[in-house]
Chain A
Amino acid sequence: MRDIPGLPSRRGFLKASAATAAIAGIAVPAKAEQKPEPVALTEYKPDCLKPSEWVFVMAAVARLIPSDGDGPGAIETRVPVFIDKQLAGDYGKASDWYMVGPYQPAASPLRGWQTPLSPLEIYQQAIPLFDDWCKTTHGKIFAELDAETQDKALTSLQKDEMKIKPELREFFGILLANTKEGYFSDPMYGGNHGMAAWKYIGFPGARGSYKEWVGKHNVKYPLGPVSISGERG
């Protein structure tokens, strides 16, 4: 099954609800821990991303962590919500960083963040440029391309084949980093919905107490994750 371009979520939603049902059925007898299902991604009102940016992020993360195969994808785990919320907050604004000039954005990448732009500004400026590039090169904006071409376009972006200006050089890097952050962070930040990414790899989340297990060598830890707010999986 192929997802609708720009809304690569049909299959994701099916998977997500099946997974949620399974957890509720097995691990949690009481209803208390069950959280109400959050608003569907298609209905979600972004905190900071504009509609065209949201469409791009939805489509891009669906390729960066796709839904097919084993394990949840970025869509079922609601990574776009995480990214929107992070970009709307201190991270997006680079509030913690030293952002005073003079800047040398073309310096060697080994020298770290040297663009005058914040992560949110990079998303805002790079998305339309990348969409234009996709249009010129592949005939459509990114979200409207088929999956295979999207993967090709993302590979070009990663290799900087479009020669994006140095101020925007970090775009692919932060897009990928933020996608993985959203996949693996505690669900309270909006992604990792249902702790599905933690369950997939076998990370027990916020359990943080293993005194009895240190000496059990080469034996797989048996318990599922808990989240900071007390969800159990």
Chain B
Amino acid sequence: MARTEKKKDVVLVGFGWTGAIMGIELANEGLEVLALERGHDQATVPDFQYPNMIDELKYGIRYGMMEKPANTTVTIRRSLDEEALPYRSLGTFLLGTGVGGAGTHWNGLNWRPMQSEYRLKSYVTEKFGAGVMTEDMTIQDYPMTYEELEPHFDRFEKVAGISGTAGNINGKIVEGGNPFEAPRSDEYPMPAMPSTWDGVKFRDAAKAAGYHPFPSPGGIASKDYKNEYNMQMGPCNHCGFCERYGCYNYSKSSPQTAIIDALKRKKNFEYRVNSEVLRVEKSTDGKTVTGVTYFDHKTGEEVFQPADLVILTAFALNNVHLMLVSGIGQPYDPNTNEGVVGRNYAYQITGGYTLFFKDENFNPFIGTGANGFCIDDFGIDNIDFAKEGFVGGAYWRAGQTNGQPGHTMPLPAGTPSWGAGWKKGIGEWYGHAMNIGAHGSVMSYRGHYLDLDPTYKDRHGRPMLRMTYNWHPNEIRQTQFMKQKMEPVAKSMNPTTLQEGFKKEGAMFDVRPYQTTHNTGGTVTGDDPKTSVLNRYLQSWDCHNLFVMGANTFPQNTQYNPTGMVGGLAYWAAHHIRKDYLPNPRALV
């Protein structure tokens, strides 16, 4: 029944951020490249066009741009002895689908991890002693250095089109930027975006408290811009329909605005939509892969696509699932602490203060996905773990992203959730509230991992991916520390009233409210095949012609949104595939 297609040099599984980067870099090398994308085709015009995109119900509430759980989902449990249940309707994270993937509807907050994060385990043990780590903590170093990655971060930022103010150029601290950032070789490609009133108020309060505010770095164009592939962006309109939406204005960094049209013009590049990869096929000796089998939703048949090189670019959770269902690498077992695939899954911990100002106007509908000001004074490099009793850090940000009233309506505690009191509350408080958020790291632990579910199957009959995850006391201490530090800053702003939303001791992972789509780990990169799935070039230890991109490569989650790192790592891997692997295909380590 399976059809076999003509062999390609390279097949990419998924056509989002990492698929687009790998696509253009390897097509520029002259290879025959095919991207298989499970979802539909989409482009700024007509799919993200004004005014149809400005529709909160369709996209913001019913998640019109996301992968439907009916098609793909995971099961979730909070501990080894709990039964995992399917994530049936969307809440805590939102997976992308279709051309551009989650890169179309992300916020655009773009970061490079702090310097300690690349060698976290060594940093922690050298500086504070191994005793500051909890016994079950399984953090490890990245197998490459920041210095090695720097040119690739720079490249991704210039391709994606990031606006921001540099704080450290080649070791020289620049006023107005983030003084704690790792040294960068160059400025951001565009100046920082202007901020709304909430961000400016926070900036002033943070400065008064002795902290070091800087504009949020984001993939939101502050001016007209052209990148190395001759792709153009136009200045952002602050439309307030950014996160969860495609940009109608060619202003948000996305595979579409940065890469895809240039890539489509190449004769040696092809992409097929509605083509969902079911598994990677191994050679008989298991030392290489021969291609992938995908389900063609147009014809309803399975297709074998042979290729010399297979690259997984399907988003973190999907990449791990594909490795598990393809039987590549040893699945992780938390009981013996052996095996690697699925190991070191992590997430992001967030908390914050909401401040209400009776007499001030924030116009919350004016916003971008990456609006406002940040501080990094409580970043991971700046905390004494021995003194504070946790490992980790967080960046803080204030900057409204939207005022869509159906899902963004902060009200003071005690306001009734319905009836006359609620109606009065929305009339009084809409437009008079702002938020300061802490966006914190999550370490990896022995009991947090991904494997295949024993009960639930997807529509192709494959076992679903099972996630075992809960809030760990280390992260609760971290987030409570942030609360304690944030409270005086929030109070110094003299709000009419304020309230906190930080996780407390005993907090259980709740799948209902949206938190972040910063799922990390599962096929981590490392120096040792016993504790990693991929070597330093993101090449599979098991099959040398298989490379795996995405945040699934992170040994633990950083304190930042992942995509700056994901993009930097993709350029790093692309560089080494071009320079080292293609001339002599082999295990590079």
Chain A residues with CB under 8 Å of chain B are 63-66, 68-71, 73, 90-91, 94-100, 102, 104, 107-114, 151, 154, 158, 176, 179-181, 184-186, 189, 197-198, 200-211, 213-215, 217-221, 228
Q: Are B196 and A217 in contact (CB under 8 A)?
A: yes
Q: Are B57 and A181 in contact (CB under 8 A)?
A: yes
Contact code string B257-296 (vs A, CB < 8 Å = 1, else 0): 0000000000000000000000000000000000000000
- Give the nearest-CB partner of A90 in chain B: B62
Interface-lining segment among B81-89, B118-126, B312-320? B81-89
Query: Contacts A64-B418, A69-B423, A69-B424 hold; do A112 and B88 have CB atoms under 8 A apart?
Result: yes
- Report Cα–Cα, A91/B68, bound state, in Å: 12
- Report Cα–Cα, A102/B84, bound state, in Å: 11
A209 smallest CB distance to B (angstroms)? 5
Q: Which of B348-381 contact A (CB under 8 A)?
A: 360-363, 365-366
A-B contacts besides A114-B85, A151-B419, A208-B237, 5 pairs, CB < 8 Å? A98-B73, A98-B87, A110-B508, A184-B405, A220-B431
- Report Cα–Cα, A189/B55, bound state, in Å: 10
Contact code string B236-252 (vs A, CB < 8 Å = 1, else 0): 11111100000010000
Candidate in B420, B424, B455, B509 with the most chain A CB atoms within 10 angstroms: B420
B213 smallest CB distance to A (angstroms)? 16
Partner of A208, one of B54, B62, B194, B200: B54
Partner of B85, one of A104, A184, A228: A104
- Report Cα–Cα, A48/B89, bound state, in Å: 22
Complex contacts, B427 vs chain A, CB 8 Å: 70-71, 200-201
Complex contacts, B68 vs chain A, CB 8 Å: 95-97
A/B interface sample: 20 pairs, CB < 8 A: A65-B419, A66-B423, A73-B423, A96-B89, A98-B73, A110-B509, A111-B511, A151-B419, A181-B61, A181-B406, A184-B406, A185-B406, A197-B405, A201-B431, A207-B365, A209-B239, A218-B197, A218-B360, A221-B366, A228-B52
Complex contacts, A91 vs chain B, CB 8 Å: 62
Partner of B418, one of A111, A154, A206, A220: A154
Complex contacts, A151 vs chain B, CB 8 Å: 419
Chain B residues with CB under 8 Å of chain A are 50-52, 54-57, 61-63, 68-70, 73, 76, 83, 85-89, 91, 194-197, 200, 235-241, 248, 360-363, 365-366, 403-406, 417-420, 422-424, 426-427, 430-431, 455-457, 508-512
Partner of B237, one of A107, A197, A210: A210
- Report Cα–Cα, A200/B430, bound state, in Å: 10
- Report Cα–Cα, A221/B240, bound state, in Å: 14
Partner of A214, one of B57, B366, B422, B508: B366
Complex contacts, A181 vs chain B, CB 8 Å: 57, 61, 406
Complex contacts, B426 vs chain A, CB 8 Å: 71, 200-201
Query: Contacts A98-B73, A102-B455 hold; do A211 and B236 have CB atoms under 8 A apart?
Result: yes
Partner of B88, one of A69, A99, A200: A99
- Give the nearest-CB partner of A185 in chain B: B57
B558 smallest CB distance to A (angstroms)? 26
Q: Are B237 and A211 in contact (CB under 8 A)?
A: yes
Q: Are B51 and A176 in contact (CB under 8 A)?
A: no
Q: Are A97 and B89 in contact (CB under 8 A)?
A: yes
Q: Are A203 and B430 in contact (CB under 8 A)?
A: yes
- Give the nearest-CB partner of B53 in chain A: A208
Partner of B54, one of A64, A98, A206: A206
- Give the nearest-CB partner of B455 in chain A: A102
Candidate in B76, B85, B91 with the most chain A CB atoms within 10 angstroms: B85
Q: Are A98 and B417 in contact (CB under 8 A)?
A: no
Q: Are A211 and B423 in contact (CB under 8 A)?
A: no
Complex contacts, A68 vs chain B, CB 8 Å: 420
Candidate in B88, B417, B422 with the most chain A CB atoms within 10 angstroms: B88
Candidate in B366, B403, B417, B508 with the most chain A CB atoms within 10 angstroms: B366
Q: Summarize A's interface: helix, strand, loop or mixed.
A: loop
- Report Cα–Cα, A179/B511, bound state, in Å: 22
Q: Are A113 and B508 in contact (CB under 8 A)?
A: no
Complex contacts, A111 vs chain B, CB 8 Å: 76, 85, 511
Complex contacts, A154 vs chain B, CB 8 Å: 418
Complex contacts, A198 vs chain B, CB 8 Å: 405
Q: Are A208 and B239 in contact (CB under 8 A)?
A: yes
Complex contacts, A184 vs chain B, CB 8 Å: 56, 404-406
Q: Are A95 and B240 in contact (CB under 8 A)?
A: no
Query: Contacts A209-B237, A220-B363 hold; do A107 and B418 have CB atoms under 8 A apart?
Result: no
A129 smallest CB distance to B (angstroms)? 20
Q: Are B54 and A112 in contact (CB under 8 A)?
A: no
Complex contacts, A179 vs chain B, CB 8 Å: 418
- Give the nearest-CB partner of B357 in chain A: A218
- Report Cα–Cα, A150/B511, bound state, in Å: 32
Complex contacts, A205 vs chain B, CB 8 Å: 54
Complex contacts, B424 vs chain A, CB 8 Å: 69-71
- Report Cα–Cα, A95/B417, bound state, in Å: 28
- Give the nearest-CB partner of B424 in chain A: A69
Q: Are A211 and B73 in contact (CB under 8 A)?
A: no
- Report Cα–Cα, A181/B407, bound state, in Å: 9
Q: Are A100 and B456 in contact (CB under 8 A)?
A: yes
Q: Are B51 and A228 in contact (CB under 8 A)?
A: yes
Partner of B512, one of A70, A102, A110: A110
Complex contacts, A228 vs chain B, CB 8 Å: 51-52, 54-55
Complex contacts, B457 vs chain A, CB 8 Å: 100
Complex contacts, A97 vs chain B, CB 8 Å: 68-70, 88-89
- Report Cα–Cα, A90/B238, bound state, in Å: 31
- Give the nearest-CB partner of A221 in chain B: B363
Q: Are A204 and B365 in contact (CB under 8 A)?
A: yes
- Report Cα–Cα, A201/B363, bound state, in Å: 11
Query: Contacts A70-B424, A98-B87, A208-B239 hold; do A213 and B406 have CB atoms under 8 A apart?
Result: no
- Report Cα–Cα, A184/B228, bound state, in Å: 42
Candidate in A204, A205, A214 with the most chain B CB atoms within 10 angstroms: A214
Q: Are A219 and B235 in contact (CB under 8 A)?
A: no
Partner of A217, one of B57, B200, B422: B200
- Report Cα–Cα, A179/B426, bound state, in Å: 14
Query: Contacts A202-B431, A213-B363, A215-B194 hold; do A113 and B51 have CB atoms under 8 A apart?
Result: no
B221 smallest CB distance to A (angstroms)? 11
User: Closest 5 CB pairs between A and B?
Assistant: A208-B239, A201-B430, A217-B197, A185-B57, A206-B54
